[in-house]
Amino acid sequence: MNKKLTIYIVLLVAVIGILIFIDSSRPKPINWTPTYAVKDKIPLGLYVFDKEAPKLFKGQKIEKLRETPYEYFNDLYDYDAKKYTENGTFINISEQNSIDNESAKELIYFVDHGNTVFLSAKDFPRSLLDTLNLKVDGGYSFKDSIALSLSRKNNQKYSFNEGVGFTYFDSIDTKNVQILGYQEFSKDKKPNFIKVPFGNGNFLLHTQPAAFSNFHLLKGNHYQYAENILSYIPEGTIYWYSKQFAYDEEVSGNPLRYILSQPALKWTMWLAIIAFFIFLLFNAKRKQRIIPEIIPLKNTTVDFAKTIGNLYYQEGNHHTIIEKKIIYFLEHIRNEYHIDTYSLDDVFIEKLHLKTGKSIVDIEKTVSLIKKHRHQFESTEADVIAINKAIENLRL
């Protein structure tokens, strides 16, 4: 093995080893991304909620939907009996609205038939808000803490900070809507948990999904707030919808999935690949012989045509120039528009007009000049200019 190559390999291994040591020795940064996915153990995931769900919904069947609410509940509806074959409560916990418009309409229909829908998010489907005549305000995040409380729980307040927002319900008609909970920030108290009757069922809408996250379920007594929220859900089957449920089944079969999931191993692999290609690039460049440049053949057709044209022009053979111009013009009409050019009569003029959309006056003028020069043997430079201009006006 080449001595220089050995040195390069040793240096590369040393650099990779130093990078692995530095990366493994530093504290892993906390990921505060609000995924609300059951597989995520990060602060704003739902891993703990998923594991505790059987206790939170004790004695209730939990059905995880791996398809959209529209696809799932539409299959459960009996159009002959005009009712759903199964009943219960639909729940969804997400940072922003994750329910499509058709599914929102299906959920409205589901509630109308005596069921319950529980949504905890910082945003809700527009069609749902319009149907229930609700308005939301706020929606921005901040670093200061916010006090959350429930109406029927002796006004006990829970101080939340991480992952919360300031979305709240505005302009509520208390005759039709029951306020179940509030959030308070800088002495400004706003409803954030409401119950909206619709048809034979109810909507339970909550604006602080962080209450069900890993972080807050494990922080102090915050789990009590989540339990109290869920206590409003009636007993029955729980239909839990999350977009991640459909993805969880699709486990990657990539043999490198573990390496790619570890930042240190992933960067080591990519550095090794980049270093390998750099080595190949410089090594191949040093040894590969020079490839001679092959100049492509030049198309001289246009130059030839210009040369012949200049020759006719310099010789003063204007009649020949006009004759070639006419031949090319009529050949173009035959090939492009499939019009017979044997007789340049009124029928020919009409066909050319219909197929090209050009003015009949311009066509008649051009045809007249062609006929004129076909019966004369002497032409001037002015004649060449005139017929060229007439043909160019048609721009066929």
The pLDDT of residue 266 is 80
- Residue 137 makes CB contacts below 8 A (sequence gap 6+) with 167, 168, 169, 170
What are the structure tokens assigned to 302, written together? 């246009």
The pLDDT of residue 250 is 47
Mean pLDDT of 384-395: 78
Mean pLDDT is highest, among 277-281, 332-336, 376-380, for 332-336
> Distance (Å, rounded) from C-alpha 153 to C-alpha 158?
11
Mean pLDDT of 97-108: 95
Mean pLDDT of 187-197: 93
Please check whether residue 319 is in contact with residue 366, taking contact to mean a CB–CB distance below 8 angstroms.
Answer: no
Q: What share of the chain is helix, strand, coil (3-state, %, to 5)?
A: 45, 15, 35
- Residue 27 makes CB contacts below 8 A (sequence gap 6+) with none
Q: Looking at 53-57, 219-223, 254-258, 361-365, which range is the least confident one?
A: 254-258
Q: What is the pLDDT of residues 231-273, one digit of tens each?
A: 999 999 999 999 888 665 444 556 676 777 677 778 888 888 8
The pLDDT of residue 259 is 75
Which CATH number does 47-248 carry?
3.40.50
Q: By C-alpha distance, which of 90, 11, 94 is closest to 57?
A: 90
CA dist 327 → 165, 236, 321 (Å) = 80, 89, 10
Please check whether residue 205 is in contact with residue 124, taking contact to mean a CB–CB distance below 8 angstroms.
Answer: yes
Q: What is the pLDDT of residues 155-179, one digit of tens each?
A: 789 999 988 988 999 988 888 899 9
- Structure pTM? 0.60
> Distance (Å, rounded) from C-alpha 359 to C-alpha 299?
36
Domain with CATH 3.40.50 in the chain: 47-248
**CA neighbours within 13 Å on the CB side: how many for 221?**
8
Q: By C-alpha distance, which of 123, 148, 136, 162 is closest to 30?
A: 162
> Distance (Å, rounded) from C-alpha 14 to C-alpha 372?
90
- The full length of the chain comes to 396
CA 391-387-365 angle, to 5 degrees, is 70
Exposed, middle or buried: residue 153 (CB in 10 Å: 0-12, 13-18, 19+)?
middle
Angle between helices 360-374 and 318-337 (to 10 degrees): 130
Q: What percent of the chain has pLDDT over 70?
A: 86
Q: By C-alpha distance, which of 37, 59, 58 is closest to 48?
A: 37
Sheet holding 237-241, edge to edge: 62-65, 237-241, 88-93, 116-120, 201-206, 188-198, 178-185, 146-150, 157-160
Mean pLDDT is highest, among 54-68, 136-150, 347-361, for 54-68
> Distance (Å, rounded) from C-alpha 132 to C-alpha 140?
23
Mean pLDDT of 58-67: 93
pLDDT at 218 exceeding the cut of 90 = yes
3 state DSSP class of 263: helix
Q: By C-alpha distance, which of 262, 263, 210 is closest to 94?
A: 210
**CA neighbours within 13 Å on the CB side: how many for 287?**
6
Q: What phi and psi, each to the nearest 5 degrees, are found at residue 29? A: -65, 145
3 state DSSP class of 88: strand
The pLDDT of residue 344 is 83
The pLDDT of residue 47 is 95
Q: What is the pLDDT of residues 4-44, one digit of tens each?
A: 767 777 787 888 778 777 776 777 788 899 999 999 999 99
> Distance (Å, rounded) from C-alpha 151 to C-alpha 179?
7
Q: What phi and psi, each to the nearest 5 degrees, are found at residue 247? A: -80, -25
* Average model confidence (pLDDT) across the chain: 84
